[in-house]
Chains A and B, each alone.
Chain A
Amino acid sequence: EADIYQTPRYLVIGTGKKITLECSQTMGHDKMYWYQQDPGMELHLIHYSYGVNSTEKGDLSSESTVSRIRTEHFPLTLESARPSHTSQYLCASSVFAGGGDEQFFGPGTRLTVL
Chain B
Amino acid sequence: AQSVAQPEDQVNVAEGNPLTVKCTYSVSGNPYLFWYVQYPNRGLQFLLKYITGDNLVKGSYGFEAEFNKSQTSFHLKKPSALVSDSALYFCAVRGGNDYKLSFGAGTTVTVRA
Binding site for B on A (CB under 8 A): 6, 31, 40-43, 45, 48, 50, 58-59, 90, 92, 99-100, 102-108, 110
Chain B interface residue number, banded: 20 to 34
Q: How many angstroms between the C-alpha atoms of A98 and B33 in the bound complex?
A: 13
- Chain B residues positioned under 8 Å from A6 (CB to CB): 43
Binding site for A on B (CB under 8 A): 32, 34, 36, 41-46, 49, 51-52, 88, 90, 94, 96-101, 103-106, 108
Q: State which of A31, A40, A41, A59 has its C-beta within 8 Å of the C-beta of B99.
A: A31
Please tell me if the beta carbons of A107 and B88 are within 8 angstroms of each other in the complex.
no
- Chain B residues positioned under 8 Å from A43 (CB to CB): 44, 90, 103
Q: How many angstroms between the C-alpha atoms of A45 and B99 in the bound complex?
A: 12
Q: How many angstroms between the C-alpha atoms of A48 and B90 in the bound complex?
A: 20
Please tell me if the beta carbons of A40 and B96 are within 8 angstroms of each other in the complex.
no
Please tell me if the beta carbons of A108 and B42 are within 8 angstroms of each other in the complex.
yes
- Consensus secondary structure, chain A interface: loop
* Nearest CB of B to A26, in Å: 15
Please tell me if the beta carbons of B108 and A40 are within 8 angstroms of each other in the complex.
yes
Q: How many angstroms between the C-alpha atoms of A104 and B46 in the bound complex?
A: 7
Please tell me if the beta carbons of A90 and B43 are within 8 angstroms of each other in the complex.
yes
Q: How many angstroms between the C-alpha atoms of A107 and B44 in the bound complex?
A: 8
Q: Do A105 and B99 form a contact, CB below 8 Å, given A40-B106, A41-B105, A41-B106?
A: no
* Nearest CB of A to B76, in Å: 15
